[in-house]
Amino acid sequence: MSEGGSSSKLQAAATHLRGIAAAPGVAVGPALVLAPQQISYVRRSLRTAEIDGEVERFQEAVRDAQKELRSMGERSSASRSEQSIIEAYLLMLGDETLASDVELRIRRDRQCAEWAVSRSIETFAATLSAQKDPYLRERSHDFEFIGEQLLIALTGASSRRVLPRLQESVVLVAHELSPTDLLALGKEHLLAIATEGGTRTCHTAIVARALEIPSVLGVDGLLTYVSSGDRLVVDGLRGVVTVRPTDEMVSCGLDRGRRHMALTRHLLHDVHRQTTLASGEPISLLANIEFSHEAAFAVAHGAEGIGLYRTEFLYTDRSILPSEDEQFEQFREALHALEGRPLVFRTFDMGGDKPIGNLTLPHQPNPALGLRAIRLALEYPDLLLTQFRAMLRASAEGDVRIMVPMVTSLREWHEVKRLFDRACADVDERHQPRAPRTPLGIMVEVPSVALLIDRFAPHAEFLSLGTNDLTQYTLAVDRTSPQLNRLASHFDPAVLRLIRGVILGARAADRPLTICGAMASDPLAVILLVGLGLRQFSMEPAVLPEIKEALHRVTLAEAEEVAEEIMNLSSAEDVEHLLASHFAHRLLDLLSGGMD
Ligand code: PEP
Ligand code: MG
C-alpha cells in the first residue's frame, strides 16, 4: 500500500510504503534490488530404463543440498537461531512424504527429477498457503526454498541465488529473502531489509532480529516502486519504507535511527537492576521463548526467568514426533542457560488443522474451537505423557514448573493431573532423577476458567493469564485475521473485567499469577495491570528493558488510581485514551522507540 506517491518508478517524488515492522531500527541507504532466482530445466518424459537412475539422481540431489546447507550452518559466524533454521531445512529436505511424492511422480508419471520436484513442491506449498494458521502459511515459503535448493543440486546451477558480493552498505530489496540468503550475505554491509513477502513470525524476520538488521517485510508492490540505487529510508519500528526521500526525510530518518540505537544501548546497560515502581514496590519480569537457545538472550535482556516456553515449536516442520530423550535434551539446554532461574514449560499447544508429525488428525472446520492443546493431549495421552516425562526429568537440572494451555473444564484438569501423576510414577520406576515437587499450573485463556476462577484456582499450584486467547474467545475475534486485528483489543472492558476477576480469584486462593499474553509486552497495558494488582509479567525478551524502564517511571498510587477509573469505562478506545492521557507523555521515548 502506498501513501502520497505514484506507482511509477520513474516518478521522482518521495513515496511511503507500508509493511510489517519486522525488526526494529531505522536505516537510510541505497537500494540493491535482488532479482528472483530463475532456474531453468527441460521437462523430459522418461523411458522405462531411465526410471531407477532418475530416482537415484533425485536422492543424490537431496544429499548434495543437505551437504550445502550443512556447510552454511558450520560457518563460524552462523548464530544459534540461524543454525536451528538450517536444521529445520535439513529435516524438510529429508522428509519422507516429500521423497515418496517425488518418487511417485518419477515412477508413475515418468517425469524427470526436476519436473517431479517442481510439481511436488508446488503441491506442498499450495496446501500450506491455504491453511488458516499464519505460521503454516509462512512455511510454504520454506518449502519453495527447499525446492530451489533441490533444483540447484539437480541442474548443477552454479550457486544458489546469485547473491552479490556486497562491497558497500546497501538496503537489500527483494520479493522474498530466505534466512540462508541473509546468512550468505552477512551483516557487515546490510543496512536494512525490505521485502514484498514475509511476516513478523517468518524465519527471515527471526534471523533479521537476531542480527539486528532493521527490516520491513510484507510491503505490497515494493518492486514496482524501487530500482537499484534509489535512496530508501527503512523504518523497522513503524513498518514504513520511504522511497526517494527528500533531504529532510533522510536527515530525520538518520537522526531517529541514532536515537533508537542510543535508547536501546542505554536501556540494555541498566538491564540487570532490580525492577521496581517509582514508589519502590518490586515487580518481577520474565520472558517468553519458543526455542531453548533463546533462554540466554532472555537472560541477557534482564529476564528473571522464563514465564512461558511454547514447547509446540519442537513438533513443527518434521515428520517424526520428538522423542522423550530429544525433548529432555532441549529442555536441559534452556535450564543450563538459566543458571537456576525458574522456567515454566507450557505443554504443547497445537492441533486444529496443524499437521503433527505423522499423526493424521480429523479435519477441524474451526480449528481455534477444535481439537487443540489440552483437548488434543487428552485424545492422544501418550503425547502428553512423553512430554511430561521429559519435563520431569529436566526438573532434576533446574527450577521447573509446568503449565497447561486451553484448559476449559475441571473434568479436563483432573484428567491432566492423573496423567501427570502417572508420568511421575513412570520416571520414578525407571530410577531417573527428578525434583521432589514440580508445580503444575493452569493457563487462564478461556473465559470459562476466568469466570469460574474461584473453582479452578484451589486446584492449581499457579495460574498464568493468556490474554491473546482470552481476548480472542471473549470478543469472538479470530486472532489470526489481519482484517479483524483492530477489533481484538486486550483493552476491551469485557476482557479487563475478566482479568480483574482472575487477579482477585488468584489472590483469594493464594495462588501466584503471571500474565504471558502479548498484553505484557505493551508498556501502557503493563501499567494498567499493575494498577489492577498484577506483579509478575512474562513477555517477548526484546521488550524487557523498555517495560522495566516504563515501570520505573510510575508510582503504584498513580497506576491504581487510573486503573480504578478505567474499570468504569465502556470501550477499548476510551481505555486506551485515558491511559495515554495519563502516561504517554512520560513514556514518549519508549513508546516510539526513541523517536519523536
Ligand atoms: C495467549 O494466548 O495469550 C498465550 C500466551 O498463548 P499463545 O499466544 O501461545 O496462544
Ligand atoms: Mg494461548
**Which is the closest atom of ligand 1 to the Cα of 519?**
3
Where is the domain boundary, 228, 259, 290? 259
Whether residue 149 sits in one domain with residue 166:
no
| Beta bridge partners of residue 45, listed in sequence order | 111
Q: Are residues 169 and 194 in the same domain?
A: yes
Ligand 1 atom, smallest distance to 310 CA: 9
- Does residue 209 lie in a domain region? yes
Whether residues 465 and 534 fall in one domain: yes
- Which residue type does 538 have? S
Position 295 in a domain? no
Verify that 464 and 594 share a domain, yes or no.
yes
Clarify whether residues 333 and 187 are in a common domain. no
Q: Is residue 358 part of a domain?
A: yes
- For residue 19, which of 239, 267, 169 has the smallest C-alpha distance? 239
> At 175, which CATH number?
3.50.30.10
Residue 344: which CATH number? 3.20.20.60
Per-residue pLDDT at 79: 60
Structurally, the chain folds into a number of domains equal to 4
Ligand 1 in contact with 129 (CB < 6 A)? no
Q: List the residue whose alpha carbon is closest to atom 6 of ligand 1.
A: 466
Same domain, 321 and 419: yes
Distance (angstroms) between ligand 1 centre and the Cα of 466 equals 5
End residue of a domain, out of 438, 464, 491: 438
In terms of domains, do 29 and 176 share one? yes
53 and 152 in a single domain? The answer is yes
Is 260 a residue of the active site?
Answer: no
> Beta-carbon neighbour count of residue 502 at 10 Å?
26
My answer on whether 558 and 585 are in the same domain is yes
Helices (H), 270-405: 294-300, 324-338, 374-379, 381-394
Q: Which of 403, 468, 534 to mutate to test the pocket of ligand 1 (most atoms within 8 A of CB)?
A: 468
| Residue 190 falls inside a structural domain | yes
Give the residue numbers spanning the domain of 520. 270-278+440-446+454-596
For ligand 1, whether the C-beta of 445 sits within 6 Å is: yes
Q: 28: CA distance to ligand 1 center in Å?
A: 35
112: annotated active-site residue = no
CB 55 within 8 A of CB 103: yes
What is d(CA 142, CA 28) in angstroms, rounded to the nearest whole number? 29
* Contact (CB, 8 A) for 80 and 140: no
- Whether 100 and 174 map to the same domain: the answer is no
Q: Would the CB of 517 count as within 6 Å of ligand 1?
A: yes
Q: Are the C-beta atoms of residues 502 and 513 closer than 8 Å to each other?
A: yes
In the reported structure, the alpha carbon of residue 63 is separated from the centroid of ligand 2 by a whole-number distance in angstroms of: 39
Within 10 angstroms of residue 377's Cβ, the number of other Cβ atoms is 28
Distance 90 CA to ligand 1 centre (A): 28
CA of 462 to the centre of ligand 2 (A): 16
Q: Spell out, as residue ranges, where the chain has pLDDT lower than 50.
A: 1-11, 76, 159-160, 595-596
Burial of 381 by CB count in 10 Å (0-12 exposed, 13-18 middle, 19+ buried)? middle
> Is 535 a member of any domain?
yes
Span 210-224, pLDDT tens digits: 678 999 988 888 888
Q: Does residue 131 belong to any structural domain of this protein?
A: yes
Q: Where are the beta strands (DSSP E) in 397-507?
A: 399-404, 440-444, 462-465
Question: Rounded to 5 degrees, what are φ and ψ at 164?
Answer: -70, 150
Residues near ion ligand 2 (CB < 5 Å) are 445, 466, 469
Q: What is the pLDDT of residue 197?
A: 82
Query: Is the separation of the CB atoms in 286 and 303 below 8 Å?
Result: yes
What phi and psi values does residue 185 have, to the nearest 5 degrees?
-70, -35
Whether residue 518 sits in one domain with residue 370: no
To test ligand 1's pocket by mutation, which of 443, 470, 489, 534 has the most ligand atoms within 8 angstroms of CB? 443
In this structure, which ligand is nearest to the CA of 519? 1
Distance from residue 286's CA to the centre of ligand 1 (Å): 15
Three-state SS for 353? coil
68 and 96 co-located in one domain: yes
The last residue of one of the domains, among 403, 438, 473, is 438
For residue 5, tell me if it sits in a domain.
no
Q: Is the CB of 285 under 6 A from ligand 1?
A: no
Residue to mutate (ligand 1; options 133, 376, 469, 475; most atoms within 8 A of CB): 469
Catalytic residue among 203, 293, 490, 582: 203
